[in-house]
Amino acid sequence: MTTRPALPSACDGSGARAGAVAPALVRSWPIDAGTDVSCCGALTVRFAREAGLDEQAAWALGIAASELASNIVKFAGRGRLTLSRLTAPRPGVEVVAEDSGPGVPDAAIVFADGYSEGRFLAGDEDPRRLRGRGVGLGAVRRLTDDVQLQNLVPSGLRVAARRWARVPGR
């Protein structure tokens, strides 16, 4: 019988899950271990469904949140993920990932597929030697309706991604 590692506090219901009375308006938790990445996705899907997003939109946002959490672990070591319910111009969810890592040299180029670790990756590089594959932030952009990236002073990065509920007939 194999033993699964204990889930971080974000997954065990000690602060990141919605209560039984009303869905939360904001959820936030620290990211500092690889196991947090899968939790972020699952908790984001649940939060998004409670906020009114359909299943497809909720799963897309969950994947984006997992990617943002993965980047925190890979490139900064630790940070924080925050989910917020949005009401205007229609229901939605914002995912904010913040860390105190090195930031990015060019905010415009990091969304291009193939860009990772401050450069475009060569096609013949051994992926086992890389921290990233260069598709993550591009995927976040494709899976969300709006994404903004901001270098923080003196160091760090803030990525805010939003997904809006779909309005029937539009």
Whole-number Å distance between alpha carbons of 154 and 140: 25
Domain-located, residue 67: yes
Question: What local confidence, expressed as pLDDT, does residue 118 receive?
Answer: 54
Domain-located, residue 97: yes
Question: What local confidence, expressed as pLDDT, does residue 106 receive?
Answer: 74
Can you read off the two tokens belonging to residue 32? 């500092």
Contact between residue 110 and residue 35 where contact means Cβ atoms under 8 Å apart: no
Domain-located, residue 116: yes
In the chain, the number of structural domains is 1
H/E/C letters for each residue in 116-155?
Answer: ECCEECCCCCCHHHCCCCCCHHHHHHHHCCEEEEEECCCC
Whole-number Å distance between alpha carbons of 123 and 127: 10
For residue range 20-51, list pLDDT tens digits in order.
335 579 999 999 876 678 888 999 999 999 99
Look-up: residue for tokens 């997003």?
Answer: 53
Output the domain CATH number for residue 38.
3.30.565.10
For residue range 66-79, list pLDDT tens digits in order.
999 988 998 899 99
Domain-located, residue 18: no
Domain-located, residue 1: no
Domain-located, residue 35: yes
Domain-located, residue 20: no
Average pLDDT over residues 144-165: 92
Question: What local confidence, expressed as pLDDT, does residue 68 receive?
Answer: 93
Strands 79-86 and 92-99: antiparallel
Domain-located, residue 13: no
Whole-number Å distance between alpha carbons of 85 and 100: 25
Question: What local confidence, expressed as pLDDT, does residue 3 receive?
Answer: 40
Domain span holding position 119: 26-164
Question: What local confidence, expressed as pLDDT, does residue 20 receive?
Answer: 38
Q: What is the mean pLDDT of the chain?
A: 77
Q: Which residue has the higher pLDDT, 151 or 169?
A: 151
Tell me how many helices (H) and strands (E) the chain has.
Answer: 3, 7
